[in-house]
Amino acid sequence: MLYLKDVTIKRGLKTVFYNWSATIENSKVTIISGKNGVGKSTLLRAIAGMIPIEKGIVKNHDNEIFKDKIKWGQNLIYIDSKNGLSKDLTVFENLKTWSEMRGWKTSDNDLQKALDSVDMLNHKNLYVSQCSEGLKKRAALSRLYLSLLFDVGFWLLDEPTNELDQKSIILFNKLIQRFLENKGTILLACHELKLFNFNYELLNLDLLKKKN
């Protein structure tokens, strides 16, 4: 259980969350919804450790997650609209350097399987500068497959389905299914809820913020 208690998160001068509490169930998909600008991305970036939490605590079971940032870093994958792909490298090289950056020892075979899981194997030697937005997003999502091989507990995904076509969404659903079988927890910010064919908890920020 990811447990946020009385958190205050600021973005610049604006206080996005003030003394705000929520719980996120483990081994489930939680979809964060709400209108534009309500703070979906801010919440995800804060949990990922990129935006400092001014006040309050975030606990995973009984451990405060930001006390041991290395351990928390091992435990999560964060993907947002920026993707984190270098333009001058190919899709394959991007995935390889990314897994090396996390310190994972992956064989080329694993990497190819990861690209295959999002149907990118045909495009693996394409430079990212030549990729369309949808291809870039798929290349970024291929990391999720790699994380299944290692002990990652959380996926924080910020609008992952925006540029995906029908077929990729099916593949994405499959990845989520596999992660849930591995007892993984998924936090997902998204507008279109009908795309998913699994059970999810809904964390509607519009409603929750009014209540507080």
Residues that bind other proteins (CB under 8 A): 11-12, 48-52, 70-71, 73-74, 76-78, 80, 82-89, 93, 97-98, 100-105, 150, 156
Our CB check for other proteins shows the closer of 64 and 68 to be 68
Q: How far is the CB of 31 from other proteins (least distance, A)?
A: 20
Q: How far is the CB of 3 from other proteins (least distance, A)?
A: 20
Q: Which two tokens stand for residue 69?
A: 């940032």
Q: Which two tokens stand for residue 16?
A: 């996005």
Task: Tell me which residue has tokens 């990391």.
Answer: 143
Q: How far is the CB of 9 from other proteins (least distance, A)?
A: 10
Our CB check for other proteins shows the closer of 75 and 173 to be 75
Distance CA 46, CA 63 (A): 16
The amino acid occupying position 70 is I
DSSP 195: G
Our CB check for other proteins shows the closer of 129 and 177 to be 129
Q: How far is the CB of 187 from other proteins (least distance, A)?
A: 13
Distance CA 181, CA 168 (A): 20
Task: Tell me which residue has tokens 């029908």.
Answer: 166
Our CB check for other proteins shows the closer of 110 and 119 to be 110
Our CB check for other proteins shows the closer of 113 and 174 to be 113
Our CB check for other proteins shows the closer of 141 and 156 to be 156
Q: How far is the CB of 200 from other proteins (least distance, A)?
A: 23
DSSP 89: S
Closest CA to 17 of 3, 31, 6: 6
Q: How far is the CB of 67 from other proteins (least distance, A)?
A: 14
Assess contact for 76 and 154: CB atoms under 8 A: yes
Contacts of 150 (CB under 8 A, 6+ apart): 104
Assess contact for 29 and 84: CB atoms under 8 A: no
Assess contact for 134 and 160: CB atoms under 8 A: no
